[in-house]
Amino acid sequence: MSRRVLVVDDEKGIRDALRQVLEYEEIEVQACASGSEALRLYPEFRPHLVFLDVKMQGIDGLETLRTLRELDSHAQVVMISGHGTIQTAVEATQLGAYDFLEKPLDTDRILLTLRNALQHVDLASENVRLKAEVHAQYEIVGSSKAIKQVIERIEKVAPTAARVLVTGENGTGKELVARAIHALSPRARGPFVEVNCAAIPTELIESELFGHMKGSFTGAFADRAGKFELADGGTLFLDEVGDMSLSAQAKVLRALEEGMISRVGSGKTLAVDVRVVAATNKDVRAEIAAGRFREDLLYRLNVVPIDVPPLRARRGDIPQLVEHFAGQLAQRGGLPAKAFDPEAVKRLAAHDWPGNIRELRNAVERLLILAPGSVVTVADVERVAGLRSADEGRGGGTGPADFAAAPWMRAATFEEFKQAAERTYILAKLKEHDWNVSETARTLDMPRSNLYKKIERYGLTGLGQGDGRGRPAAQEAAGGRPHARTGERGERVGADRQEARRGARCHAHCPGDLGEGGAGGPGRHWDRSGRVAVFPRLWLAADLLLGRRHGGHRRRAVGQRVVVEAAPRRRARGRAGAHHLGGRARDPRSAPPHRDCQRGHPVAVSGRATSLMTDDR
């Protein structure tokens, strides 16, 4: 980059000599003979350095220096004088001059001063740039009413010395609030020291906060200043203060009350001037009731409370946040710049974002990396960010349109509302566990029999899981076949079968394992009359609920049932009960009725109701 230097001196020989030296160093030079001319050229030329004579006709050098510093507070000026005095040099330095050179000028001294001054300019420019980046990094983005209220409270409390307690969920930006308070306070030029109380072990947190002396504990090889000392004259941010130990809370309370601390292992007290801003994601009142947080410390910290709203409470800010994160990641993260389709932004705004702003930023970064095109579409949002599956697992979005379309919103009575909500919830959980009834019951902390009753009550079916005829979820889990021993979904009902096997017995007069098969195949074993096939059907609870309810078998075990099937030549007779198929006729007063099925289908019969059972039962 070309460097620019302005030379201001009423002696033509000095101007020419300086021009010759500077141009030899490949520096662009402009020269003028008066202070007024220098003030006119400065805004146009924007020099990196000014050589300015003290004694000049008209406006002298000191007055010109004062005006230049008013025009540009970062102006670098080197004063030149043939009659320099200490008083003049001190006055020039107080007005902001970088250095003071006496005539006659020495070439080496000029070049050394030039090099040092330009390096100082570079450092000052870098400092300004970094401050701007830090400010942008911790900028609070949003224009919703909720975030405006937070900003208004920050602007009111920042200029004061009051302590602040910031509350809110994880990822809502509590640290941004603390940094904004520090930046707008009179302590802005002081240090901002952050302490994550949740990340420091309990036995070390006192050492981190208050420092320690050499030899005070194992591993203390040297004296060390704590965070309170490091934050002296600035702001100390205690993040996750709710996770601090009670002993550390007592010391923090003393430091806040007296402004005095003592290092671990030292009886000497130190005075500190620290403004404390604390943050937590916990319910402090509940922590106090549980005995994990000191009530008196709460009163010390909670002078001005600020509650940061979750992202779902400020959905109107999501488009601004998406644009902000996309530009920030493209500029500093080296990611390709991509535009977001309006529909994609709407899809992002409809999501709940349980991780709040932190989760949204991660999603935007993931989309910039993985989205194939130059524009991020709604399909990219659903595929890459995974929002569709997450929302379906919860039963849909939570926007006003989603609530209006929800089935429970169409309920006429409160009882209908509860049933619709319960049905939707159970259906979502069954889908989440791939229609594994046992796993779903364990997740819901509900007895499996109760879950089966609700599945049958609400007619829940696994769409695409069975033959499409709307069978109960329990039959779907069994593979869609009433007598399947093994099959496509055998693993999912392993737990159900294991329990059923404890009470189930095969009472057919045949040895070996009874399996699945067609009529006359190896899986069916006919009784001695040749008219009835018997095989073990380990019926799930949902398959037997109807029979139990109608037959009075409320105390019968699941395993005390077998399945009988009529021989092919007998099936055409219509309805077939056990007494129609050659079994012992029952006295309807002594045994409950069996469960009938249409022809060609199995019949579930109580263990006491058929002659096919042997005496060893």
* pLDDT single digits (tens) 116-150: 988 888 888 887 777 666 666 667 888 899 999 99
Inter-helix orientation angle 318-332/342-350, to 10°: 110
Residue reference for tokens 């009834």: 437
The β-bridge partners of 339 are 375
- The type of residue at 371 is A
* Residue-averaged pLDDT of the chain: 75
Which tens digits make up the pLDDT trace of 447-458? 999 999 999 888
In 3D, which of 174, 175, 172 has the Cα closest to residue 356? Answer: 172
Report how far apart, in Å, the C-alpha atoms of 331 and of each of 127, 136, 360, 461, 595 are.
Answer: 18, 12, 18, 51, 72
pLDDT-based confidence at 269, cuts 50/70/90? confident
pLDDT at 226 over 80: yes
Which position has the higher pLDDT, 586 or 72?
72
The β-bridge partners of 22 are none
Query: What percent of the chain stands above pLDDT 90?
Result: 28
What pLDDT, on a 0 to 100 scale, did the predictor assign at position 615? 41
C-alpha 173/C-alpha 314 separation (Å) is: 13
Instruction: Using DSSP bridges, classify how beta strands 192-196 and 164-167 pair: parallel, antiparallel or unpaired.
Output: unpaired
Q: What mean pLDDT comes out for the span 499-516? A: 40
pLDDT at 598 over 80: no
Of 112-121, 367-376, 500-509, 528-537, the range with the lowest mean pLDDT is 500-509
Question: Which residue stretches of 479-540 are H helix?
Answer: 494-503
SS3 101: strand
C-alpha 329/C-alpha 152 separation (Å) is: 28
pLDDT-based confidence at 220, cuts 50/70/90? confident
pLDDT at 307 over 90: yes
pLDDT at 188 over 50: yes
pLDDT-based confidence at 406, cuts 50/70/90? low
Which position has the higher pLDDT, 383 or 592?
383
Element (H, E) at 360: helix 356-370
336-346: b (≥16 Cβ within 10 Å) or e: eebebbeebbe
pLDDT-based confidence at 297, cuts 50/70/90? very high
Which domains are delineated in the chain?
4-134 (3.40.50.2300), 146-309 (3.40.50.300), 315-387 (1.10.8.60), 407-477 (1.10.10.60), 504-606 (no CATH)
pLDDT at 237 over 90: yes
Which position has the higher pLDDT, 11 or 481?
11
C-alpha 374/C-alpha 334 separation (Å) is: 15
Q: What mean pLDDT comes out for the span 432-444? A: 88
What pLDDT, on a 0 to 100 scale, did the predictor assign at position 149? 93
Q: What mean pLDDT comes out for the span 605-612? A: 41
C-alpha 388/C-alpha 153 separation (Å) is: 37
pLDDT at 617 over 50: no
What pLDDT, on a 0 to 100 scale, did the predictor assign at position 25? 87
What pLDDT, on a 0 to 100 scale, did the predictor assign at position 147? 92
Which strand ranges, in their side-by-side order, compose the sheet holding 164-167? Answer: 192-196, 235-239, 275-280, 164-167, 304-307
Report how far apart, in Å, the C-alpha atoms of 9 and of each of 26, 55, 78 are.
Answer: 21, 8, 12
In 3D, which of 236, 129, 128, 238 has the Cα closest to residue 182? Answer: 236
Three-state secondary structure readout of 305-320: EEECCCHHHCHHHHHH
- The type of residue at 127 is N
Which tens digits make up the pLDDT trace of 336-393? 889 999 999 999 998 989 999 999 999 999 999 998 889 999 999 988 877 754 444 4
What pLDDT, on a 0 to 100 scale, did the predictor assign at position 136? 62
Report how far apart, in Å, the C-alpha atoms of 546 and of each of 279, 416, 457, 469, 551 are.
Answer: 57, 23, 11, 18, 8
Q: Burial, 588: exposed, middle or buried (Cβ in 10 Å; 0-12, 13-18, 19+)?
A: exposed
Q: What mean pLDDT comes out for the span 163-171? A: 93
Query: What percent of the chain stands above pLDDT 70?
Result: 69
CA end-to-end span of the chain: 99
| Count of positions (residues) in the chain | 617
In 3D, which of 237, 260, 254, 273 has the Cα closest to residue 161? Answer: 273
Which tens digits make up the pLDDT trace of 12-22? 888 899 999 99
Instruction: Using DSSP bridges, classify how beta strands 260-262 and 269-271 pair: parallel, antiparallel or unpaired.
Output: antiparallel
Most confident of 200-204, 388-392, 536-540: 200-204
Instruction: Using DSSP bridges, classify how beta strands 164-167 and 375-376 pair: parallel, antiparallel or unpaired.
Output: unpaired
Q: What mean pLDDT comes out for the span 318-331? A: 91
Tokens representing residue 11 in the block: 């002696």
Q: Burial, 59: exposed, middle or buried (Cβ in 10 Å; 0-12, 13-18, 19+)?
A: middle
C-alpha 268/C-alpha 48 separation (Å) is: 51
Q: What is the DSSP letter of 590?
A: T
